Amino acid sequence: MTGRRAFLAGALSLPIAAQARGAEQWDAVVDPATGTLGAALAEAEKAGRPWRILLKPGLFTEKLTVRVPGLTLQGSPGTVIEYGTASGTPKPGGGTWGTGGSATLTIAAPGVALRELIVINSFDYIGARRDGSGNGAQAVALAIGREADRTTVDRCTLLGYQDTFYVQARSLVTGTRITGGVDFIFGGGAAWFERCEIVTRYVPDTDSFGYVAAPSTPAAQEFGLVFSDCSLLRENGVPEHSTWLGRPWRAGGNMALTGEAVFLRCFMDGHIRREGWTWMGYKGPDGEPRRLTPPEARLWEFGTRGPGAAPAGTDRRLLTVAEAKRFTRAKVIGF
């Protein structure tokens, strides 16, 4: 074995020969002490077929994009993928990253499965707030791009502060812990979140602890971000009635975006504000600042419980039993 193949064999801990862990077979097994996930993904792209990659425990400090359709990325207990880039920070070769480009891990191919991974954007959000630097400090941990249809995220942990999880394509998210503060689950994709823990982070020296969801769903798209049997929790120090369920995002002032987010049978701790939802600003076609308000968007609840599950109000609307039946996994994402 010579050249590039020999290098990858050492770097990835036997990446070419399929390996077994229990009954499962792997095209690559990557140990962060000896190899990189980036090299394994490059080899998968060369193969031109779906690959199965097992990551051993440890820290992968890499900023990566998955471009292989049907790829499976399986973590082990303690597998961490971490990077620290935010919107407005410099890019290699010049310019700066935007919000989407800030992601630690980006999915840019259909049918990708992520399992048992910890994905972190380690940008110093607290320090940026303290120093007054950064453009709001948007720093994405996981981005699912428009081309990444039928992505699955299972038993993962996604950790950031602002804009943790960007969802732009049909996605299934199960048993996953998503942690952040400002608009930390956002985007225009249709996504079904099931049995997830959604955790608001503590930020010192602030009275408001942000917004859980910021949907930018197209008006012509029937479904947006749907949370089924999830738990909305908080870190120590996050006070009562300090966190909005979310606000509708009219990205770029696009009038065709109305935003849909629905919470079904979710537990809500006492940090959730009684008003539930609030408005989000944008510039209209005339360039003037405007607000997209909750009544103009599609923001709903059904069967929520816990101290944060307040009664219905003008901006906090409840689905009827008949209306709630329309929201099923099969209808929302089709897989």
Residue 133 has a pLDDT of 56
Residue 23 has a pLDDT of 59
* pTM for the predicted model, two decimal places: 0.92
**10-residue mean pLDDT series, the chain (335 residues):** 30 34 81 98 96 98 98 97 94 92 97 98 88 72 98 98 97 98 97 98 84 98 98 96 96 96 98 96 95 97 95 91 98 98
Catalytic, 124? Answer: no
Q: Please tell me which residue in 124, 131, 149, 183 is annotated as part of the active site.
A: 183
Catalytic, 163? Answer: yes
Angle at the Cα of 291 from the Cα atoms of 287 and 292, rounded to 5 degrees: 115
Residue 205 has a pLDDT of 80
Quickly tell me which residue has 């709903």 as its tokens: 300
Q: Which domains does the chain have, with CATH numbers?
A: 35-333 (2.160.20.10)
User: With contact defined as beta carbons under 8 Å apart, do 107 and 145 qualify?
Assistant: yes
SS (H, E, C) the chain: CCHHHHHHHHHCCCCCCCEEECCEEECEEECCCCCCHHHHHHHHHHHCCCCEEEECCEEEECCEEECCCCCEEECCCCEEEEECCCCCCECCCCCECCCHHHCCEEECCCCCEEECCEEEECCCHHHHHHHCCCCCCCCCCEEECCCCCCEEEECCEEECCECCEEECCCEEEECCEEEECEEEEEECCCEEEECCEEEECCCCCCCCCCEEEEECCECCCCCCEEEECCEEEECCCCCCCCEEEECCCCHHHCCCECCEEEEECCEECCCECCCCECCEEEECCCCCEEEECHHHCEEEEECCECCCCCCCCCCCEECCHHHHCCCCHHHHHCC
Residue 41 has a pLDDT of 98
Quickly tell me which residue has 């940026």 as its tokens: 128
Q: Please tell me which residue in 27, 149, 163, 269 is annotated as part of the active site.
A: 163
Residue 14 has a pLDDT of 29
